[in-house]
Structure 1
């Protein structure tokens, strides 16, 4: 299967010197990294996401002024694990911003920190304060290879300078409202949604450009997983075939972190993706003839493009070395060069041949 992007002519990405792609364990890396703090870039990206997304409260109910800037461009961060960490940090801080009692912001304005910094720094203060209080205000572990961002270091120094007063203020707020942790300040509806999302099954499609159902299932079984017949039977070390998407396997939610360590994910033979993205691709592929090219028009992620190519590869039964193999044409509009490069990089990793 060949993949062609009509939006721009991009050269294929190259692999590492040893010919292998570095495995990225997003969830585990986020957990381990958060215990030591994040690189400066993560805080910077998280602060911009927060600034663009936070709910602007009426002036009469507003404790912290985050400034008027919106729709700021996101800082460029290529590392997927760092992007994941930044979005998760911003999301967690945004959830605290939904608190009707304003416990988080009240603790902030009660400290000398609030009057020491500018309004346009408050988003950075918010995301860093959330992370620091979550880590009991422990200092970060800096590395020599980490890029230093002066504004992040300045805010960090202020947080550490006033950490005793900030920690005391947060503790008083929790005691006053009988809360065990900062997560308890969330509205009941948000907590229920969060608990529900943590229990949702995990979906992953088999990349036919690099593997097969038999190989993937064989590896999983050799690793001690038991295949069951339906989602209702998922528990512990089990998996099953999805009833709607023939190329998709379903796992219990608690297996997300262990799966990140497997060679299947490292080699991009098994791709974790939300079923809301997997199902439309399967539905469209089921209507396609056995021969012919595919034209995708609109905005798509690299994973969706690669998934389409994978499904076409499954349907194609001819000689893969001839010149008549089907192609997937991708016509995209209103995307930046960086977004095009990200799509190209993703489909290259998935095993697509670009033209």
Structure 2
């Protein structure tokens, strides 16, 4: 983008309201981190496909924008005063609004991440407001759907979100023209070219990575899940190299894990397998430990989990053990929670309960100080 004039007007948003006043706040905060890695300079970079969410052109519910704005507020790049044209206020570490719907959570974090990537460009076309974080995330989504009004959404109506939306719609012609001027001034084919080349390459690679999802046998079975997929038009192929179009295959290392092309997330949500927690999307690296532990576990012996792990990984371990030991004498999964806060323990319990873990699956939260001679396998993460 062109160099900004030092006489540019500064926008002040020091009076931005906390989102916690609109929706019940959660004590937990989720980090949104961008891991920078060195790109291979020998590999030519192809123009990346725009990274959009599955229904970005239709818009999102109010709650998604609100959650995304808080994530953005906590993680936006703070510039030195001399170069700061937009002031988001000094508040950091705000509590995230409590949003129990996992799809909305993922969508909001993806929207916040995209807004962070294009923060400088969005600031270049920003209008005065006392809620700049909310304006930023809604402005990114607005331009992503070609400045078209969003489709009517179900869910809570949040006045602040609707007010910002009306302002953006009122000035959509000027906003579109401002974006066009930014692109012409910097000779950009698309806004993706405002990103550093290394980030564009990472974005391109991430768009090619397949989706990994394990079958939650606490709520369904592998045959039932495959039946739903096939009835929805998915075709099973033999290997990852054959994934193309609406296809899936079994992972060669994790027997309960299915692999899909990256662009099929929206189609998977339409089958309700994800929303009903029968199929769980998770990085393959998180599935290797539970699968290895389950394969090594003898008929009589328990599992101890320690380190940094999520409720999904605990649930995956319980799911694998329940499938392998279908009798009444199931091994117990001991979960070390001595370093967890009360809020983290509560979130862990909520996740495993949502995944279908009950008392018969023998999850025990271990606080230390007790010896368990029956433990035969330890998962360290």
Quick one: distance in 2 between partners of 1:72 and 1:346?
A: 23
- 2:104 is aligned to 82
User: What are the equivalent positions in structure 2 for 1:282-321 lying under 5 Å apart?
Assistant: 282-316=291-325, 319-320=327-328
- Aligned residue among 338, 352, 355 for 2:357: 352
- 2:211 is aligned to 202
- 1:67 is aligned to 89
SS at match of 1:83: helix
- Aligned residue among 248, 262, 272 for 2:281: 272
SS at match of 2:270: coil
Q: Once the 2 structures are TM-superposed, how far is the Cα of residue 350 of structure 1 from its aligned partner?
A: 2.7
User: Are positions 1:129 and 2:135 aligned together?
Assistant: no
User: What are the equivalent positions in structure 2 for 1:30-49 lying under 5 Å apart?
Assistant: 31-32=54-55, 34-49=56-71
Q: Once the 2 structures are TM-superposed, how far is the Cα of residue 275 of structure 1 from its aligned partner?
A: 0.7
- 1:96 is aligned to 118
Quick one: distance in 2 between partners of 1:75 and 1:196?
A: 32
User: CA RMSD for the aligned pairs?
Assistant: 2.9
- Residue by residue, what CA displacement relative to the aligned partner does 1:167-217 show, whole Å, maximum 9, x if unpaired? 221111112223343333222221221121111112122223344444444
Quick one: distance in 1 between partners of 2:213 and 2:149?
A: 38
Quick one: distance in 2 between partners of 1:124 and 1:163?
A: 16
Q: Are the equivalent residues in 2 in contact too, given 1:290–1:315 (CA < 8 A)?
A: no
Q: Are the equivalent residues in 2 in contact too, given 1:207–1:270 (CA < 8 A)?
A: yes
- 1:56 is aligned to 78
SS at match of 1:91: helix
Q: Are the equivalent residues in 1 in contact too, given 2:210–2:259 (CA < 8 A)?
A: yes
- 1:329 is aligned to 334
Query: In 2 relative to 1, CA 184–154 (structure 1 residues): closer, same or farther, beyond 3 Å?
Result: same
Q: Once the 2 structures are TM-superposed, how far is the Cα of residue 266 of structure 1 from its aligned partner?
A: 5.1
Q: For structure 1, which segment, 43-52 or 293-302, has the greater mean C-alpha deviation from structure 2 after superposition?
A: 293-302
Structure with the higher fraction of residues in helix conformation: 1
- Unaligned 5+ segments in structure 1 are 1-28
Q: Once the 2 structures are TM-superposed, how far is the Cα of residue 140 of structure 1 from its aligned partner?
A: 4.6
Quick one: distance in 2 between partners of 1:65 and 1:124?
A: 13
Quick one: distance in 2 between partners of 1:122 and 1:224?
A: 43
- 2:125 is aligned to 107
- 2:157 is aligned to 147
Q: Once the 2 structures are TM-superposed, how far is the Cα of residue 73 of structure 1 from its aligned partner?
A: 1.3
User: Are positions 1:255 and 2:247 aligned together?
Assistant: no
- Residue by residue, what CA displacement relative to the aligned partner does 1:62-101 show, whole Å, maximum 9, x if unpaired? 332222222111122222222222111111111102xxxx
Query: In 2 relative to 1, CA 83–238 (structure 1 residues): closer, same or farther, beyond 3 Å?
Result: closer
- 2:33 is aligned to none
- 2:46 is aligned to none
Q: How many residues align?
A: 308
TM-score, normalization by structure 1: 0.75
Q: Once the 2 structures are TM-superposed, how far is the Cα of residue 59 of structure 1 from its aligned partner?
A: 3.6
Quick one: distance in 2 between partners of 1:128 and 1:257?
A: 21
- Residue by residue, what CA displacement relative to the aligned partner does 1:99-126 show, whole Å, maximum 9, x if unpaired? xxx4332222xxxx33xx34xx222221
Q: Are the equivalent residues in 2 in contact too, given 1:30–1:81 (CA < 8 A)?
A: no
